[in-house]
Amino acid sequence: MGRVAAIDCGTNSIRLLVADVTVSDDGSRWLRDVHREMRVVRLGAGVDATGVLDAGALERTRAALADYTNILRRKGTERVRMVATSATRDARNRDEFFEMTRAVLGVEAEVISGDEEARLSFAGAVADLDAAEGPFLVSDVGGGSTELVLGSWDGVRADVEAARSVDIGCVRLTERCLHDDPPTAAQVEEAVAVATGVLGEAFAAVPTARTGTWIGVAGTVTTLVALAKELPAYDSAEIHLARLPIDRIREITDRLLTMGHDERAALGPMHPGRVDVIAGGALVVRTLAEHLATHGVTELVASEHDILDGIAFSLA
């Protein structure tokens, strides 16, 4: 089918996947990675409080996108789709973002709904799982939002049963509640209450009691797995499809909440752009874990394949 590119611009990071897509006679689709990259640009910094995209954040995003555009040209990409999620959905000056992306990339960026974000994440996340382990609950903890989607996978097609996006993520929760470093006990208590309340909307909309396997995607989850495995450096091959018991999620979250910035930065697999928000993200993941534990779910499966792969599949 040719070479495609997917760009996902979220609250915390902007990511690129260049891949070759193959579609078989039975409709199944396969991706072969050509290039995969992530940069932390913190586009959504301050949006929760101010309602606007910061000029510095727009410039960081523009610079990353300019580099990505050069990569697309060198790799001979035929089709490109760029989606923008939580930060741009919420910003009053999002037209500035659209004008910039159009000028740099040459195509229109799409602001997708939270539910569409969830469905794309699901399609990317389940492709390497055994269909017999379903139904699958995919959680995507981003910078400004978290998506939950429940569905099945028959080895060829993904069938989504229910999905919901809510406005809580590692950046949003950190900016709202975790003001000290490390945060105080009162701040942690407030953050837990906020996360529990916001995620309650998703739990009401998605029948999580039917979960057969819980899959976590995106940087917060993959970083937690890397820390649990005590990797000296981030290694996606070690992380993809690794299983993390819920008790370890609790332990790692508690540890991160007691560490200062320099201690977190010194952890081998920690990306510099996640140092100041990883504890907030871990709290969101732990809140999900506590809820799912009541339904007999005992572990989280990490996937390195997520919305980027779903976007690429959508171009087939």
Percent of the chain with pLDDT over 70: 96
- Rounded Cα–Cα distance for residues 230 and 120 (Å): 30
Please state the rounded mean pLDDT for residues 234-238. Answer: 91
- Give the three-state DSSP class for 37: strand
Residue 148's H or E segment, with its range, is strand 146-153
- Rounded Cα–Cα distance for residues 66 and 68 (Å): 5
- CA distances to 10, 182, 185 from 261, rounded to whole Å, are 23, 8, 17
Name residues whose C-beta falls within 8 Å of residue 130's C-beta, 6 or more positions apart in sequence.
none
Look at residue 28 in the predicted model and tell me its pLDDT. Answer: 63
CB 53 within 8 A of CB 47: yes
> Is there a common fold for 2-114 and 128-307?
yes
Between strands 299-303 and 243-245, the pairing is: antiparallel
Q: How many CA atoms lie within 13 A of 299 on its CB side?
A: 10
pLDDT averaged over every residue in the chain: 90
- Rounded Cα–Cα distance for residues 33 and 24 (Å): 17
DSSP assignment letter at 273:
G
Chain-centre distance for alpha carbon 212: 21
Q: Is the dihedral of CA 258, 217, 166, 204 positive or negative?
A: negative
Look at residue 27 in the predicted model and tell me its pLDDT. Answer: 59
| Structure tokens that stand for 83 in this block | 């989606």
Residue 17's DSSP bridge partners are 6, 36
* Tens-digit pLDDT profile for residues 119-159: 888 888 887 888 889 899 999 898 888 989 999 987 667 78
pTM over the 0.75 mark:
yes
* Tens-digit pLDDT profile for residues 244-270: 999 999 999 999 999 999 999 999 999
SS3 letters across 241-263: CCEEEHHHHHHHHHHHHHCCHHH
Q: Kindly list the domain boundaries of the chain, sorted by start residue.
A: 2-114, 128-307
Look at residue 131 in the predicted model and tell me its pLDDT. Answer: 84
- Count, residues in the chain: 316
Query: In the predicted model, is pLDDT for residue 184 greater than 90?
Result: yes
* Domain 128-307: CATH architecture, name and number where available: 2-Layer Sandwich (3.30)
Exposure b/e, 287-316, CB count within 10 A at least 16 = b: bbbbbbeeeebebbbbbbbbbbbbbbbbbe
* Tens-digit pLDDT profile for residues 38-61: 898 988 888 778 888 889 999 999
Name residues whose C-beta falls within 8 Å of residue 186's C-beta, 6 or more positions apart in sequence.
none
Indicate the class that CATH gives domain 2-114.
Answer: alpha beta
